[in-house]
């Protein structure tokens, strides 16, 4: 689609780390971000007032660090669910007087699933009752062994409120970043991720993007999700207008046709025409995905992928009513692993299935297995939207049996493409402003207005897309059956010719037996 060449070792230059702050509610994520921002201000760097654009940069000595402004693993994983991995390092905030809490564990598992490095900020050390050693003990129980105890997890004791040890924390971030040898090639067309976006009355679509590779310039043609356009202006996190932005730099860009979504990928293309065609194609793919999302991450679907050699791991999120069940389920499920497929429980916890579980599952291609628990309303909706398979069981044995069955490929696929009919183009005419209209005859089955279509010429598929219009005489219709004539046009495709066959299909869900 675009110049997706590999950068050579000489082209790669060091880039600054991108960091997210995670942790349990009220442990001090927001306060820590504020403290970090302040540290930078007292350094007297550039006016100091940070514009809210969704991410900001701080200077530490000669180096810089980019922080995402939305704390919490939910936002982080929601982005990852959309295919975006933007962070290199997660700062896990744990209040020293409270210790590890349920959302701390979620955050640890979300960060681990994304394979980002974790640095622990043991916060609120100014408080009476602060017990950093107890926190470290608890971290060990969750697989994070503090460095001073022989492990590789860096822990820094801080007070966000009293602004204590903030610089030390930032230095540790740089240390970890250095070990990761983060690099990018500034001398290529930019590519990155949309961090957040909004529709501004005066300025139109405003999107904050994080450049991850290459350099973005004012005047570049960009595609972001299903939005496209020419970058009219850019502002940095200090509200200053800039002409270009290199790797790890967040900028606000103006000039997109629509408002993209956080987590959307963006990249620069040669020209406007290219930008538009990429967007059209994306919209089509999205529609196709939407039709089938209902079962996107079902057990069957996962096993199809495993069978096709695309995947070796079956990821599972386990929620249960009591801790004993979580452990038992985890052990029994992981024991099913065989030579081809490894079953991984990436997160296990007590309680209802929540939205964060769904996001984690979606981002990690996992299914969710619940024992004597139900999903919250929000979680059911989110699961449906994201196409995450929720499986509820009362006994472990049933779950094991289902998963073993699926591993042997015995469950029927729950979803497949269904051809609804074929239409023959018998005449065409060009209508200015509309494109090519085909006068057609439905050979078999039926064609629906919302059908996905393939244009087939001499047995070869020459275009895939969707319908732009479907008419009987002058009227728009929902469907046309075999034996009837109709008029149709295909979105963004004007080369239909007499004799072309239009194959209409839908992505249909198949009921399990
Ligand atoms: P978040 O929910 O994780 O974003 O937590 P906040 O940053 O909103 O902090 C929750 C509460 O803890 C607020 O009342 C803060 O003032 C307080 N707090 C945060 N950091 C510290 C700290 O280092 N020491 C003390 N004593 N209180 C803190």
Q: What is the pLDDT of residues 79-132, one digit of tens each?
A: 777 767 899 999 999 999 999 998 999 899 989 988 899 999 999 999 999 999
What is the per-residue pLDDT for 412? 41
For ligand 1, whether the C-beta of 164 sits within 6 Å is no
* Mean pLDDT, residues 152-168: 96
Q: How many Å apart are CA 105 and CA 254, to the nearest integer?
A: 39
337 vs 28, residue with greater confidence: 28
What is the per-residue pLDDT for 351? 87
Probe target for ligand 1 pocket from 73, 160, 164, 166, with the most ligand atoms within 8 Å of CB: 160
For the CA of 34, the closest atom of ligand 1 is 7
195 vs 300, residue with greater confidence: 195
Whether 49 shows a pLDDT value over 60: the answer reads no
Q: Record the tokens describing residue 284, joined without a space.
A: 């089509």
What is the per-residue pLDDT for 180? 94
Whether 243 shows a pLDDT value over 50: the answer reads yes
223 vs 324, residue with greater confidence: 223
Probe target for ligand 1 pocket from 25, 26, 28, with the most ligand atoms within 8 Å of CB: 28
- CA 72 to centroid of ligand 1, rounded, Å: 14
What is the per-residue pLDDT for 513? 41
Percent of the chain residues topping a pLDDT of 70: 88
Whether 307 shows a pLDDT value over 70: the answer reads no
Half-sphere exposure for 276 (CA within 13 Å, toward CB)? 4
CB 323: neighbour CB atoms within 10 A? 11
* Mean pLDDT, residues 381-410: 80
Q: How many Å apart are CA 131 and CA 107, to the nearest integer?
A: 21
Q: Which of 19-23, 24-28, 349-353 is predicted with the least confidence, judged by mean pLDDT?
A: 349-353
Instruction: Specify whether the CB–CB gap between 210 and 54 falls below 8 A.
Output: no
What is the per-residue pLDDT for 135? 97
DSSP letter, residue 337: -
Q: Give the residue whose CA is nearest to atom 24 of ligand 1.
A: 124
3-state secondary structure 218-286: CCCEEEECCEEEEEEEEECCCCCEECEECCCCEEEEEEECCCCCCCCEEEEECCHHHHHHHHHHHHHHH
431 vs 179, residue with greater confidence: 179
Instruction: Specify whether the CB–CB gap between 20 and 76 falls below 8 A.
Output: yes
Structural element, H or E, at residue 405: helix 396-407
Probe target for ligand 1 pocket from 24, 26, 75, with the most ligand atoms within 8 Å of CB: 26
* Mean pLDDT, residues 395-423: 73
* Mean pLDDT, residues 136-145: 95
For ligand 1, whether the C-beta of 26 sits within 6 Å is yes
pLDDT confidence bin for 57, thresholds 50/70/90: very high
How do strand 435-448 and strand 452-457 relate by DSSP bridges? unpaired
User: What are the pLDDT digits (tens) for 379-395?
Assistant: 888 888 888 888 888 88
Whether 296 shows a pLDDT value over 60: the answer reads no
Half-sphere exposure for 60 (CA within 13 Å, toward CB)? 20
List the one residue out of 103, 61, 36 whose CA is nearest residue 237: 36
- Enumerate the known binding-site residues: 23-30, 69-73, 123-126
284 vs 239, residue with greater confidence: 239
For the CA of 123, the closest atom of ligand 1 is 23
Mean pLDDT rounded to a whole number for the chain: 86
pLDDT confidence bin for 323, thresholds 50/70/90: confident
* Mean pLDDT, residues 157-164: 96
User: What are the pLDDT digits (tens) for 445-490?
Assistant: 999 998 999 898 887 878 888 999 999 988 999 999 999 999 999 9
What is the per-residue pLDDT for 411? 43
């Amino acid at each position: 689609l675009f110049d997706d060449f590999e950068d050579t070792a000489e082209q790669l230059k060091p880039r600054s780390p991108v960091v997210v702050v995670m942790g349990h509610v009220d442990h001090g994520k927001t306060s820590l971000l504020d403290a970090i921002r302040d540290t930078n201000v007292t350094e007297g760097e550039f006016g100091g007032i940070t514009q809210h654009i969704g991410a900001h940069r701080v200077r530490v000595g000669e180096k810089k660090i980019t922080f995402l402004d939305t704390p919490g693993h939910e936002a982080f994983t929601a982005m990852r669910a959309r295919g975006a991995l933007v962070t290199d390092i997660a700062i896990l905030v744990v209040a020293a007087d409270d210790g590890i809490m349920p959302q701390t564990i979620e955050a640890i598992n979300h960060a681990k699933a994304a394979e980002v490095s974790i640095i622990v900020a043991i916060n609120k050390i100014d408080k009476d009752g602060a017990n950093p050693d107890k926190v470290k003990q608890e971290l060990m129980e969750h697989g994070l062994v503090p460095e001073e105890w022989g492990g590789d997890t860096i822990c820094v004791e801080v007070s966000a409120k009293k602004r204590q040890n903030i610089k030390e924390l930032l230095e540790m971030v740089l240390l970890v970043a250095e070990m990761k040898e983060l690099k990018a090639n500034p001398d290529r067309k930019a590519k990155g991720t949309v961090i957040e976006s909004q529709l501004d009355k005066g300025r139109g679509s405003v999107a904050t993007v994080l450049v991850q590779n290459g350099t973005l310039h004012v005047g570049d043609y960009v595609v972001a999700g299903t939005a496209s356009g020419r970058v009219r202006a850019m502002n940095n996190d200090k509200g200053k207008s800039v002409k270009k932005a290199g790797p790890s730099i967040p900028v606000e860009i103006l000039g997109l046709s629509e408002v993209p979504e956080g987590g959307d990928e963006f990249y620069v293309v040669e020209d406007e025409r290219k930008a538009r065609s990429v967007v059209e194609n994306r919209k089509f793919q999205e529609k196709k995905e939407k039709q089938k999302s209902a079962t996107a991450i079902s057990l069957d679907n996962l096993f199809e992928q495993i069978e096709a050699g695309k995947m070796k791991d079956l990821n599972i999120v386990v929620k249960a009513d009591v801790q004993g069940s979580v452990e038992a389920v985890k052990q029994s499920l992981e024991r099913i692993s065989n030579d081809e497929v490894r079953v991984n429980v990436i997160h296990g916890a007590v309680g209802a299935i929540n939205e964060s579980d769904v996001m984690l599952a979606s981002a990690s291609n996992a299914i969710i297995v619940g024992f004597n628990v139900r999903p919250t309303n929000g979680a059911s909706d989110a699961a449906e939207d994201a196409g995450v398979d929720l499986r509820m069981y009362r006994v472990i044995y049933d779950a094991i049996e289902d998963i073993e069955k699926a591993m042997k490929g015995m469950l029927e696929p729950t979803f497949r493409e269904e051809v609804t009919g074929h239409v023959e183009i018998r005449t065409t005419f060009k209508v200015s402003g509309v494109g090519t209209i085909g006068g057609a005859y439905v050979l078999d089955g039926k064609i629906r207005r919302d059908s996905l279509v393939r244009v087939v010429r001499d047995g070869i598929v020459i275009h895939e897309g969707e319908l732009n219009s479907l008419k009987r005489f002058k009227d728009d219709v929902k469907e046309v059956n075999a034996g009837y004539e109709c008029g149709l046009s295909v979105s963004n495709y004007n080369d239909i010719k007499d004799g072309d066959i239009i194959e209409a299909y839908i992505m249909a869900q198949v009921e399990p037996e």
